[in-house]
A and B are shown apart, each in its own frame.
Chain A
């Protein structure tokens, strides 16, 4: 079976516009949560958000896109992270236009980030807005696929909060099976009135910076961003900068409730077990876990139960990097894959923020301080979503 390497990373979130900036902020514990300035919602000053401070106009300028062009914010964020990823992997046309290069992306809100324009167009109230072509969840990916004249396998996924983890899972399988040689995978979601109101209706948004794995956690912060990873077959890569390998993946459904996880953590446990089986690893081989850790009452207690169930009484270090970025929905899986990869690459653990009164199960509790020179050979990253969708990924130091 072909080995899968990660050779490029691209990311944009509320804690940075580059890998270096993310690394700096993750190390120093500087989060990106604040009241919202760019997104138009009456809740902008009620809740905390992981909002990227750059406006659409700023992003267009950075990306060299005419200010008049009507691209959704989701699309701009996706394009930004996509560009950085291919640059990081030193790809040229030869790679991205190859027939054996796949593009697998994901988004939940897609172009519906233009909630107000969508309202007008969907109800055919007036002449169509310039965004009329742009609402679909796949629009950002279609735009990139066309702009880069890509030729290979093209897919867009929406499994809610596990979307981009599933994009990574599918591309990994395609490379392992020899169907493709390389892939760019990830996801993007912009903050939107639509999702803010959706999560508010579920009453799981926090009015403070979120506190995943704290006893007094009171909900999640919605974030925005995009993250893409370049995956390449080991046989294709010679003397190239490589971050880590991808060795395991597991996808399972909790089959319990549409918007919350089961107390027995059936889905999360299955997803992690399948990932360990695919990687052919025993639980004790895992050195660090990047948890889904949203900061909701329900998710964190279920996930902690699942970790304890899989890995036993002896605790392993785990954190919730959503305490930095907020929950970036479809982008979260790829974003946290990147944070996991950076931990392995640099052999260090980033802190989980705002744990004042740790949620505990036996000796298990999230790490709240940075640890340097920490040996990580294998790390697991979790993504769980609405409708029971859950995916776990394992990244390993390349040997």
Chain B
């Protein structure tokens, strides 16, 4: 399958506008907020008012792509958290009004399938419609789902997206769960920090996937998730993954690494990056922040690199750059599930 178009709402307008003149913004706080477009141009105000942020970002990016790709056969969303802000709002209403008669808006918007459902509604798309919520693998599940559906002769083009919002839920509950750094580290220093925990960043990343090759298409050659992978098995796992696709490590020209400055994961990323001397290494979580569906942004970046859309600053330059055009993505949200993608 092929990525033929993409759209991003993330913390950096460099990526949202695809504009090299936009400087990467530096954040002092650990929470990075998305720069949202002016939705009023294309979402009716009456609907917009009722949307929570996750739904708004998802609809806002999905509709942008659907404008030029009306002929999609289905919608697949991966979101670990869905509309959690709405969820917590509804929860707070339950408690504050002692279970009085509440308005259902927050409840209906809080279900993770609200994004795929509303996109279907606004685009009048009656096709395949699915929402995956498997935490740090929700986006990977969506990619597998797309692969499955493309085996069906009636499905040729899919809208696939991931949405993760910053909310009180992940701010507080992820904090209690030890996801964040306890000290403040500015975004331009976070990858070099060597303490536990990381940052948090919201994003909505959408793709149009096509079954067939197309001009300006980036091929998703293969993808794989390993659960409970030990550090000492990581290199073998990567070599197996490449071997299965009959390519060697020398064929990889670019590596997109999910490193996030969490000392508990640094060794994983160091291991992967050190395998590929001949590749340029890209990182991105110092720009957009960490979230459970961060692989989606890695694929977005892979598409930009493959299509040479704009010059993205590298994390490390290649020693002898491979002339081939394979891109490897490696990302892990929790250190338990490890995700690998091969693109071309």
Contact = CB atoms under 8 A, between A and B. Distances in A.
For chain A, the bracket of interface size reads 35 or more
Contacts of B171: 124
B103 interface: yes
Contacts of A138: 80, 133-135, 138
A156 to B, nearest CB: 4
Report which residue of A115, A116, A118 has the largest number of chain B beta carbons within 10 angstroms of its beta carbon. Answer: A118
A118 B148 CA distance: 36
Contacts of B108: 198, 202, 258-259, 386-387
Given A122-B169, A132-B176, A388-B120, A170 B107 contact: no
A194 interface: yes
A255 interface: yes
B239 interface: no
B130 interface: yes
Contacts of B134: 138, 141, 154-156
B92 A385 contact: no
Given A145-B227, A270-B126, A258 B118 contact: yes
Interface string A118-130: 1101111000100
Interface stretch (B82-90, B193-201, B324-332): B82-90
Interface stretch (B11-19, B94-102, B247-255, B303-311): B94-102
Contacts of B151: 173, 177
B148 A173 contact: yes
Contacts of A142: 135
Contacts of B299: none
Contact of A155 (B128, B137, B175): B137
B80 A388 contact: no
Given A202-B107, A387-B117, A388-B121, A119 B130 contact: no
B141 A155 contact: yes
B104 interface: yes
A223 B98 CA distance: 22
Contact of A157 (B94, B126, B130, B337): B130
A42 B98 contact: yes
B102 to A, nearest CB: 4
Contacts of B88: 122-123
Nearest to A118: B91
Interface in A208-265: 251-259
Contacts of A141: 134
B114 interface: yes
A135 B173 contact: yes
Contact of B126 (A151, A198, A252, A387): A252
B298 interface: no
Nearest to A269: B126
Report whether over half of chain A's contact residues are helix, strand or loop; otherwise say mixed.
mixed
Interface stretch (A15-23, A87-95, A158-166): A158-166
A307 B51 CA distance: 34
A118 B113 CA distance: 21
10 contacts: A42-B99, A124-B171, A154-B225, A156-B138, A157-B132, A253-B75, A255-B125, A385-B113, A386-B108, A386-B117
Contacts of A194: 90-91, 94
B131 interface: yes
Given A112-B87, A386-B113, A159 B131 contact: yes
Given A128-B176, A387-B120, 14 more contacts: A42-B98, A115-B94, A122-B173, A138-B80, A154-B337, A157-B133, A158-B131, A170-B148, A198-B104, A200-B102, A251-B130, A386-B111, A387-B111, A388-B117
Interface in B289-344: 337
A266 interface: yes
A124 B172 contact: yes
Given A138-B135, A177-B151, A194-B90, A119 B95 contact: yes
B144 interface: yes
A52 interface: no
Given A119-B95, A145-B227, A155 B125 contact: no
Given A121-B172, A136-B80, A170-B145, A253 B135 contact: no
A119 B92 contact: yes
A263 B317 CA distance: 60
Report which residue of B127, B138, B151, B227 has the largest number of chain A beta carbons within 10 angstroms of its beta carbon. Answer: B227
A121 B125 CA distance: 38
Nearest to A151: B227
Contact of A193 (B94, B113, B124, B125): B94
A157 B131 CA distance: 6
B195 to A, nearest CB: 21
B241 to A, nearest CB: 14
Interface in A18-35: none
Nearest to A278: B152
Contacts of A252: 126-129
A41 B98 CA distance: 9
A177 B152 CA distance: 10
Nearest to A258: B108
Interface in B55-107: 75, 80-82, 87-88, 90-95, 98-99, 101-104, 107
A131 B210 CA distance: 42
Interface string B144-159: 1100100100000000
Report which residue of A132, A256, A259, A388 has the largest number of chain B beta carbons within 10 angstroms of its beta carbon. Answer: A388
A270 B129 CA distance: 12
A268 to B, nearest CB: 11
A62 to B, nearest CB: 27
B227 A258 contact: no
Contacts of B99: 41-43, 193, 197, 200
Contact of A253 (B93, B125, B168): B125
B131 to A, nearest CB: 5
A184 to B, nearest CB: 15
B112 interface: yes
A302 to B, nearest CB: 14
Contacts of A116: 95
B103 to A, nearest CB: 6
A118 to B, nearest CB: 6
**6 closest Cβ pairs, A-B complex:** A387-B117, A198-B107, A201-B104, A128-B176, A156-B134, A124-B172
A267 interface: yes
Contacts of A360: none
B31 interface: no
B129 A266 contact: no
Contacts of B128: 251-253
